Chains A and B, each alone.
Chain A
Amino acid sequence: MCGIVGYTGKSGVGKVLLKGLKRLEYRGYDSAGVAVVQNDGIYLQKKKGMIKDLEPITIPSGNTGIGHTRWATHGKPSDENAHPFKGCSGEFAIVHNGIIDNFITIKEELIEKGHEFSSETDSEILVHLIEEYHEGNLLQTMGEVIKKLRGSYAVCAVQRDSDRIVVARNQSPLVIGIGVEENLVASDIPAILDHTNEVKYLEDGDIAELTPSRIRIWDRKGVPVERETVEIDWTHEDAEKSGYEHYMLKEIYEQPKAIHDSLLGRLVEFDDVDFNSYDTRHIRLISCGTSYHAALVGKYIIEELAAIPCTTDLASEYRYSSPSDLTPFTILISQSGETADTIAAAREAKQRGCKTLAITNVMNSSITREVDEVIYTQAGPEIGVAATKTFTTQLIVLYLIAMELGLNNKRLLRENVQEYRDELRRLPRHVKVLLDQSDYIRDVCDKLVTAEDIFFVGRNINYPVALEGALKLKEIAYIHSAGYPAGELKHGPFALLTERTPVVSILVKDHTFEKMLGNIGEIAARGSPIISVGDEDRELEKLSDDMIVIPSVPPLFSPILVNVVLQLMAYHTARKRGCSIDKPRNLAKSVTVE
């Protein structure tokens, strides 16, 4: 996972590139660099570390350049392995996002021909290939080079004394921004928004050439093509912190609006997908990480509202599993739509003859090209590495899907639907009220800050929420935590409970409430501090050391509210521990490696 940006236009390219990279930081941030085209060569500056570690003052003026923020895949983060790469002659520079599968063979061939490599990356072969094949026209050269490649790439190349940027894309995102007397190219929209909101998405196999005044695109056969111009309605609000200390906190507080936006125009009439035209007698939900927890909650939602049997799979497991004769309707969930394993699972499902639906937050992302149907979550861009509002809106979409399926197969009566609609419509308000408890939750977190192990327990629909709570705490607060179905504690994990292992327990007044109370009693007997999250209850309050009460909703909708509490818990604990909340160590926002 990396972010790339290219600009050709007026002077001051250094500033444009750095600002663009800053906006792509969520795609990776272990090293960064820029290349600026000069008359007599190409200026290069690259460094291991964050984008802010680059030195803007030393970047010379210029009109054309490319930049890169890296997330190491081949080769560790270092100054040498940072992009851009210049090759032997210094005439060209490239940046690359993706993975070239056959780079070792190509590299050996190039070394034989006398090329000298300065890094351990797969990307560097690209610039040497360009040098090798160059016969006067960079565009043609790029066409030759990509024929050699197997794997995924979004690549931008520039040449000494030229205002031209040549780009190519295959299975890695690349979008062109159309400006006035300036044009841009980047891995994602936020890097472009400062200059224009009109963009063109490149398709796999496309090559394009950008100059300040012109954009030309060719498809994989070398035929000139027009790609549709799309107007983006995201604004910058979306990409900046506006008063909040961290993106994550900003995004947690954006959830009432995100829920509202995800429901908009879908609650009374849902016409994103006509499920009647598919066989939905069996459903499979596939995803990774936090999205997998949404899938697990989705299973409970769909089974309750539509009584359709659901199975869930991790994308990285499903894609290597053995096919069966069943062809369930397959729902793939990926926030970014770029998750490599989920995309591969979508292809695999199609291969196995299943109809596929993707739930994603990113318009025209790679996964949308692999599936039969797409539903967008409408959460707006999420910059914090820890998923918050996108998880919440994934659940909202799953409620909408389940209601629609339930109406179709008559498991859900029309007269009951109004009640569910009212409940969904009230969720933004409930979350807003819950967020007002932030300071109280912060104080409760004092109990978690020094813990080395924390358990999260829940039952039924809140069991996956316990898993998600534990994951959040691991990712941003670096505390070992584990989620369990409360009934499973005594089958092993119980042995680990002591006075030093806090237990966060989720209890809502559903049919498992009594059983949960029993479990809490057992935990209390081990002396573990208990923090309860859920519906108000006197007995529960007595058993708990701390109690965070959520607004009263039917148990089916409680995961949304419980999860907001667990998000704030993870946030405040991480903050008290001084962790780098928006950019946790070793993690990237979109996982485009397998």
Chain B
Amino acid sequence: MKAVILAAGEGTRLRPFTSSEPKVMIPVANKPILHHVVEALVDSDVTDIVMVVGYHKQRIMSYFGNGEDMGADIEYVVQPKQVGTAHALYQTKDIMDGEFLVLPGDNLIHRETIDYFLSERHGYSILITKNEEPSKYGVVTMLNGLVKKIEEKPAESESHLISTGIYSLDTDIFPRIHDLMMDNVYDLTSVMDDLKEDAPLHGISTDFMWMDAVYPWDLLSLNSAALTDIGTSSLGIIEEGVSIKGDVKIGEGTVIKGGTHIEGPAVIGEGCEIGPQACILPSTSIGDDCRISPFTMVQNSIVMSGVNIGPNSMIDSSVIGEGVNIGAGFSSHADAVDMKVEDGFEMVEKIGCMIAEDTLIGSGVTVYPGVVVGEDCDIRGGVVLRERCPPGSTVL
């Protein structure tokens, strides 16, 4: 059976981390979210994969190639303009045949999630799960195993069940999408809501892994979830006097210098230089080609590829984007923060800073908990940042 993965959108609520990369390519446990989705499918023997790409599609195509490395056979279809998920799916109509799966590329799932759905589905099916904040998603109302209603991001929700966006469909869906698009309906949730009037739509409820990152700070919980059971392995060089506890994965060509302490679960990518005397604490992912200088501590954080962190720095519960360059004596402690979102505030229990790609930070900079720094900023030495920095700003 073929699977269509929808990977064309930007994921604007995750800005500034989507400025040059779609949401699906944001790494958790050193793999893009989309990579976790592909892995789950391949583990469930679904290897024929069609990816609908659009926003910064080259980043996806260059990473996955034709899928051979992951045991999959990947074909790409381009959605030229990102107008909605149904429109994205519609782009695949010429290469689909019979029944197929549809999945969003930006949610963290496990093979059990797919296995369960594959064994339970019959006819048109939708995978649903319980969620504490249903109003962020498509809320599903069920009756006798069938879907009674799906409503996208309702103000008031009568149910805690939400759509995971994972469907089992067949090619009969395409004429329906076509007709609805004539009425300017472009999202898959509305198409499913329309479909259930004519055909039974089975709701398959699951407790298996399904996680979504709506806002940047959500990435940390996805990261720690993806880090469980990563195992211990090292292809790098570990110098004398390094202490390693728990599950720690170290990539090829990485050098861990003397006196460094690493406590898993943690993953360190390829070609990094860590230490001497650095301290990596649990739930940390460090990408490829990074340097973590002496006496620097990183914990519960995502440090993406090509990042340089100077000596004597402390990074806690933070997300550091690709190519960020941080000087000596950087400090970002974590705390509970009321984060501002489109329609109000969201309480986050523990968050440090979020710094987007290629930002340059001088020495002795302190960033307050919850502060978001946009891409390509130039934060000069000694600055104390208490507020959000728009992309490209220079702070003296």
Contact = CB atoms under 8 A, between A and B. Distances in A.
Given A235-B68, A260-B289, A428 B306 contact: yes
A240 B69 CA distance: 13
Interface in B341-380: 357-358
B263 to A, nearest CB: 23
A244 interface: yes
Interface stretch (A129-137, A263-271, A519-527, A571-579): A263-271
Nearest to B251: A264
A242 interface: yes
A196 B123 CA distance: 40
Given A433-B20, A433-B323, A253 B306 contact: no
A422 interface: yes
Interface string A136-166: 0000000000000000000000000000000
A418 to B, nearest CB: 9
B74 A242 contact: yes
A257 interface: yes
A264 B68 contact: no
Interface string B229-272: 00000000100000000000000110100000000000000110
B273 interface: yes
A391 B313 CA distance: 38
B159 interface: no
Interface in A418-461: 421-422, 425-426, 428-430, 432-433, 435-436, 438
B69 A242 contact: no
Interface of chain A, main secondary structure: helix
B105 to A, nearest CB: 15
A254 B306 contact: no
B68 A257 contact: no
A242 to B, nearest CB: 4
Contact of B65 (A237, A268, A430): A237
B271 A235 contact: no
Contacts of A238: 65
Interface of A: 235-238, 240, 242-244, 250, 253-254, 256-257, 260, 263-269, 421-422, 425-426, 428-430, 432-433, 435-436, 438, 551
B221 interface: no
Contact of B57 (A237, A243, A422, A551): A243
B305 A242 contact: no
Interface string B123-158: 000000000000000000000000000000000000
Given A243-B76, A260-B288, A425 B58 contact: no
A426 B58 contact: no
Contact of A260 (B20, B67, B271): B271
Nearest to B78: A243
18 contacts: A235-B69, A237-B65, A240-B65, A244-B58, A254-B62, A260-B270, A260-B289, A263-B289, A264-B270, A265-B271, A266-B253, A267-B271, A421-B273, A422-B308, A426-B289, A426-B306, A428-B305, A551-B358
B91 to A, nearest CB: 13
A506 B142 CA distance: 65
B291 A422 contact: yes
B297 to A, nearest CB: 20
A257 B62 contact: yes
A436 B358 CA distance: 13
Contacts of A438: 58
Contact of A425 (B74, B76, B252, B291): B291
Contact of A265 (B53, B67, B68, B253): B253
Contacts of B66: 236-237, 240, 242
B61 interface: yes
Given A263-B271, A264-B252, A433-B20, A425 B62 contact: no
A235 B322 CA distance: 27
Contacts of B76: 242-243
Nearest to A552: B360
Given A265-B252, A268-B255, A436-B20, A425 B271 contact: yes
Nearest to B306: A429
Nearest to A436: B20
A16 B351 CA distance: 57
A425 B306 contact: yes
Nearest to B257: A268
B20 A243 contact: no
Contacts of B65: 237-238, 240, 242
Interface in B271-301: 271, 273, 288-289, 291
Contacts of A235: 68-69
B64 interface: yes
Interface in B1-57: 20, 53, 56-57
A236 B291 contact: no
**Candidate in A242, A268, A422 with the most chain B CB atoms within 10 angstroms:** A242
7 nearest CB pairs, A to B: A237-B65, A429-B306, A243-B76, A264-B253, A243-B61, A265-B253, A429-B323
A351 to B, nearest CB: 37
Given A242-B66, A250-B61, A428-B305, 7 more contacts: A240-B65, A243-B61, A253-B62, A264-B270, A269-B255, A425-B273, A425-B308
A267 B322 CA distance: 20
A244 B58 CA distance: 8
Nearest to B56: A436
B50 to A, nearest CB: 11
B64 A242 contact: yes
Given A242-B74, A426-B289, A429-B322, A237 B68 contact: yes
A258 to B, nearest CB: 11
B20 A426 contact: no
Interface string B187-203: 00000000000000000
Contact of B61 (A244, A266, A269, A432): A244
A125 B126 CA distance: 67
A236 B68 contact: yes
Contacts of B323: 426, 429-430, 432-433
**Candidate in B67, B74, B289, B322 with the most chain A CB atoms within 10 angstroms:** B289
A270 to B, nearest CB: 12
Interface in B172-230: none
Contacts of A260: 270-271, 288-289
A267 B69 contact: no
Contacts of A243: 53, 57, 61, 76
Interface in B68-82: 68-69, 74, 76
B246 to A, nearest CB: 25
A250 B76 CA distance: 14
A421 to B, nearest CB: 7
B52 to A, nearest CB: 11
A429 B289 contact: yes
A267 B253 contact: yes
A203 B323 CA distance: 46
A11 B162 CA distance: 52
Contacts of A432: 322-323
A197 B65 CA distance: 19
A425 B289 contact: yes
A429 B307 CA distance: 9
A397 B102 CA distance: 44
Nearest to A435: B58
B57 A429 contact: no
A375 B20 CA distance: 34
Nearest to B308: A422
**Candidate in B61, B270, B306, B322 with the most chain A CB atoms within 10 angstroms:** B306
Nearest to A244: B61
Given A265-B252, A426-B289, A429-B289, A242 B61 contact: yes
A456 to B, nearest CB: 26
Contacts of A433: 20, 323, 357-358
Contacts of B252: 264-265
A430 B357 CA distance: 11
A257 B61 CA distance: 13
B61 A253 contact: yes
B273 A268 contact: yes
A422 B325 CA distance: 10
